[in-house]
A and B are shown apart, each in its own frame.
Chain A
């Protein structure tokens, strides 16, 4: 099987530059990249040995190494009314992701090797893109005793996380970081001090005061970011801080990186796009309710700056699909989370690329190479010959209006509904197989 992508702007973060080039994939691997690499008449190659060929004309488009989402909730097993591996990976493919890391806060929690194997087997059977299972840090994500990290690593878990919750105990977090060193897998922490965040439902500040909603202070995140950084520093365990949302967290991250602490971090497209004022502008619409909450203007500016400077290692969606009924209630009673896979690229283009915070090599670094390195995935995050045939093609000028009713995800919960965005994924190629062509799902 041969896939040829012609004449797009190929952005490769390993080579550190973008140039108009062809990409040729055969038998699941990139075999040639460069101007004219596909030869004079790629369609003519159809005759060569009867190999099926897919030709994508990427003129005027951007060709990226396959995007990887380091933070996705696929909800299977147990919460298939919110999402399952079929709908979640279809949404991923349409959003331009060739692989997604599946968080373990399912029902039951993925906290042992059997759970990891289940996710892998289901994904192999029905998934449109690769699924990278994340195992729980603690049994049942209860925060009391370590889960079998070694067994899960052996079964294929790429990382450990109690996401949805923080690891509340500092001692347990210390143990997890120390123990996980043996498997060279990162521990991903959702930083939220449960006492400081308490029953808060939005960022604590001016808008929470105006709206009379209980606030989550920036310090609820920062206290645990600081704690985790100190623990990573002393243990040498690999720490990944997910969905950081505040200016203060960026300062702490900078402090840690300057001292060589083994820490990486991601931010989400929604925290880079919206401020807490959205809760007021959308009149308490529960699609704005998310953990951590949408933050202040100063925080959003600090996050964008940190992304531009390369302080942040990756952008991850924290795709958190919910059933309609879980959101169609009073604000305080609504579930937290945003369905993010299908808007991520457009939000990055609209809010980071167009205003000049990021170039396309930067996008590839944050959304492909960064996550590939986080999970130690060989052959991903680049399009150099020999690497995996995972490719995402984006039309950077295409304008479209977000219509959740057209999502492949079962989760229609998005504060971006009705918003005009720029940048649309047109092709997604997974291991040389075209999964999305011209913006439509074509198979798995």
Chain B
């Protein structure tokens, strides 16, 4: 099946069934990454634009490769070298590229809700690749994919998300996604970096069997956790007085070996990148064998292939030409 939607903007508005479909398809597409010739003709003739108003290494590259592996044509607009620097509005940029026949726009933008605005303006599918402090749905999906791959399930897992929840779009997408899949989400960080009213999200997620708890004690969140997800600390936050120093942050909220000893024996450690080593995460743990940080990156390509496939309606028979379909990974 393809999803009955034009755009992917949030996990807040995504149904459990849709999440499962996207993850299952990603599981079957991941095998393509292991081939010598990483190319299937599924999206031949479709065009994908990456439009990034913020710097990005992994997300933009990941989308571009995902599109290329599916044989879509890709084009990239880096706003620093485009007409945006001449003051062109998002509306005009969107209409301009749409006039050139783009089927899908993958956008990152510093303003929350900008992808919603774009989606209203365009016939093309819009994929939110991170908007302000709002959501980063494909990151949430790839994180869920990575957890499911390691743990075989999502429901009932204790997932600790540590750090700057207030400003994190990664946290929001994971909270909605994991909560809807029935996980027990713990949020830990300084009180000044906790999002107001986030507990009410837990009330919404209760109907899915999920929950959200908050604490300023990292140990409480990590204790017995199946998954520890560390958020990137945006260092400019310190200048605004939200916490006094990097040193104090690292000591009180940094994830290190001692704190991780409280987690379940078979826990996994995640980080959406890019990391501030020695601040929110220590190198000794980031590079340890329980770290799945590079799996996240690799899975990101598979998840984005799945998202592009479903939105752009690739012909189903053309997808998994070789290899086995993993359990539960049938392409419907």
Contact = CB atoms under 8 A, between A and B. Distances in A.
Contacts of B90: 329-330
Interface string A320-339: 00000000111111000000
A140 B196 CA distance: 37
B264 interface: no
B113 A330 contact: yes
A355 interface: no
B31 interface: no
Contacts of A330: 90, 109, 111, 113-114, 117
A215 B134 CA distance: 12
Given A215-B196, A328-B91, A210 B112 contact: no
A324 to B, nearest CB: 11
A16 B136 CA distance: 58
Contacts of B114: 330-331
Given A331-B112, A331-B113, A213 B133 contact: yes
Given A212-B169, A330-B113, A206 B197 contact: yes
B116 A283 contact: yes
B98 interface: no
B196 A205 contact: yes
Interface in B98-135: 109, 111-114, 116-117, 120, 131-135
Contacts of A204: 196
Contact of B200 (A206, A215, A283, A328): A206
B89 interface: yes
A384 interface: no
Size category, B interface: 20 to 34
A210 B90 CA distance: 23
B22 to A, nearest CB: 21
B117 A331 contact: yes
B12 A332 contact: no
B91 A213 contact: no
B319 interface: no
A329 B91 contact: yes
B86 to A, nearest CB: 16
Contact of A209 (B117, B120, B195): B195
A330 B196 CA distance: 23
A210 B166 CA distance: 10
A212 B117 contact: no
Nearest to B167: A212
B201 interface: yes
Contact of A208 (B89, B116, B196): B196
Nearest to B89: A329
Interface in A188-207: 204-207
A200 to B, nearest CB: 12
Interface in A314-359: 328-333
Interface string B77-106: 000000000000111000000000000000
B198 interface: yes
A425 B129 CA distance: 48
Given A284-B117, A329-B90, A332-B132, A210 B201 contact: yes
Given A211-B134, A212-B169, A284 B195 contact: no
B112 A212 contact: yes
B175 to A, nearest CB: 10
B172 interface: yes
Given A283-B116, A330-B111, A212 B196 contact: no
A214 interface: yes
Given A205-B197, A206-B196, A283-B116, A212 B89 contact: no
Contact of A213 (B109, B132, B198, B201): B132
Contacts of B133: 212-214
Contacts of A328: 89, 91
A213 B113 contact: yes
Interface string B1-40: 0000000000010000000000000000000000000000
Nearest to B200: A206
Interface string B158-199: 000000000001001000000000000000000000011110
A284 B113 contact: yes
A283 B113 CA distance: 8
Interface in A99-133: none
Given A329-B89, A329-B90, A211 B113 contact: yes
B201 A209 contact: yes
Contacts of B197: 205-209
Contacts of A283: 113, 116, 120
Nearest to A212: B134
A329 B197 CA distance: 27
Contacts of B201: 206, 209-210
Given A204-B196, A206-B196, A332-B132, A211 B91 contact: no
Contacts of B134: 211-213
Nearest to A329: B89
A209 B196 contact: yes
Contacts of A333: 111
Interface string B52-91: 0000000000000000000000000000000000000111
Contacts of B196: 204-206, 208-209, 215
B51 to A, nearest CB: 13
Contacts of B135: 212
Contacts of B132: 212-213, 332
Contacts of B12: 210
A204 B195 CA distance: 10
A332 B89 contact: no
Given A212-B172, A213-B133, A284 B91 contact: no
A208 B200 CA distance: 12
B91 A331 contact: no
Nearest to B195: A209
Interface string A211-225: 111110000000000
A229 to B, nearest CB: 26
Contacts of B117: 284, 329-331
B172 A284 contact: no
Interface of B: 12, 89-91, 109, 111-114, 116-117, 120, 131-135, 169, 172, 195-198, 200-201
27 contacts: A205-B196, A207-B197, A208-B197, A209-B195, A209-B197, A210-B12, A212-B131, A212-B132, A212-B135, A212-B172, A213-B112, A213-B133, A213-B134, A283-B113, A283-B120, A284-B112, A284-B116, A329-B89, A329-B90, A329-B91, A330-B109, A330-B117, A331-B111, A331-B113, A331-B114, A332-B111, A332-B112
Given A205-B196, A333-B111, 11 more contacts: A204-B196, A206-B201, A209-B195, A209-B198, A211-B112, A213-B133, A213-B134, A329-B117, A330-B109, A330-B113, A332-B132
Nearest 6 Cβ contacts at the A-B interface: A212-B134, A284-B113, A206-B197, A212-B133, A212-B112, A330-B111
